[in-house]
Amino acid sequence: EAGVAQSPRYKIIEKRQSVAFWCNPISGHATLYWYQQILGQGPKLLIQFQNNGVVDDSQLPKDRFSAERLKGVDSTLKIQPAKLEDSAVYLCASSLGQGEETQYFGPGTRLLVL
């Protein structure tokens, strides 16, 4: 079974630029999560999708972050404009359904904002 795929793996941008991350969850997984993990901390949930609907985006900085999952499969997370404090690893995870507790994580995208 293929795991969660993410791209790119690394990205370096300057502040005020925009950046987008892509995630392909495990086939058949209805729920998709985006997390932000700052160095030395645990992952923090940014947004959760159930199919193509948003379940929880309470911690998404909506003035600069946006995410979509148009066909209920792949998802993109965008930051525009980026700030220095956005430097982090962005992790995508998926689970079978909304009530399924085990999450499967991708390798993450490491973002550095200069």
Partner 1 sequence: SQQGEEDPQALSIQEGENATMNCSYKTSINNLQWYRQNSGRGLVHLILIRSNEREKHSGRLRVTLDTSKKSSSLLITASRAADTASYFCATGSGNTGKLIFGQGTTLQVKP
- The helix/strand/coil state of 86 is helix
Closer CB to partner 1, 86 or 109, in the complex: 109
Closer CB to partner 1, 17 or 50, in the complex: 50
Query: Cα angle at 13 between 7 and 14, to 5 degrees?
Result: 160
Alpha-carbon dihedral 93, 95, 97, 99, rounded to 10 degrees: -90
Smallest gap from residue 35 Cβ to partner 1 (A):
8
Provide the binding-site residues for partner 1, judged by CB under 8 A.
Answer: 4, 31, 40-45, 48, 55-56, 91, 93, 95, 97-108, 110
Query: In Å, how far are 17, 83, 101 from 12, measured between CA atoms?
Result: 10, 12, 33
Smallest gap from residue 44 Cβ to partner 1 (A):
7
Smallest gap from residue 92 Cβ to partner 1 (A):
8
